[in-house]
Amino acid sequence: MRRIFMNATALAATLLLPAGPANAHPHVWITMRSDVVFNDKAEVAGIAVEWTFDDGYTQMALEGLDTNGDGVYSQSELEPLTQENLKSLKDYNYFVVPRVNGKIVAITDPTEYGQIYSNGKLELHFTVPLAAPADPRKAEFLYKIYDPEFFIAMDYIQEDPVGVVGDLPKGCHLEVKPVVSDQQLDQTRQMLSSKGADWKPPEDEDFGGMFAQPALVMCSK
């Protein structure tokens, strides 16, 4: 396992496969926030994400990147890591799953991406455009951000977890559903323990999505 956290994810998926999904647990932790990006027609045009990595991954990822030895990780020094991360994330749709009326909608490659190391924390940010804008006044729009194999735990920050870039349509507001309760987790674990290694969740959901907090744009009709 080197600097690319997605390599670790692929490795974990291989290791966890014989034991089944009930034994999966995270090995990397990310705290995050996100913004819903609106265009000038008050349609959802994309999702902007900000991830802060845990200390263990940060130290592994930064190994050998301070090429001039000055103790500062410049944008140029972090650029190869950013490119490697995004290239690896592409196969997983960048961990961003938007839905319109319950159906997953397509996204395109990230824009406005970058990575910084500050105050002992490594942070990655990028914006994932929707392939086609969605109007939340006409159809329910929600999204989840998560690792489908649950190797990486992704939790929203407590304050200001979700925001807006652009103008939120009149009569609409943002809502982040609560973290899954311990009781719900126990029920899910019990259900998973009875399933085989080849079991998959229904309704085009996946394993990691069962534990992810949905963020919604709620509009009055």
- Please write the tens of the pLDDT for every residue from 60-110: 889 889 899 888 898 889 999 999 999 999 999 999 999 999 999 999 999
Least confident range from 108-117, 149-158, 180-189: namely: 180-189
Report the domain count for the chain. 1
With b for 16 or more beta-carbon neighbours within 10 A and e for fewer, the 169-188 pattern comes to beebebeeeeeeeeeeeeeb
**What are 60-70's pLDDT values in tens digits?**
889 889 899 88
Domain range for 174 is 5-219
Q: How far is CA 209 from CA 57, 147, 166, in A?
A: 22, 8, 27
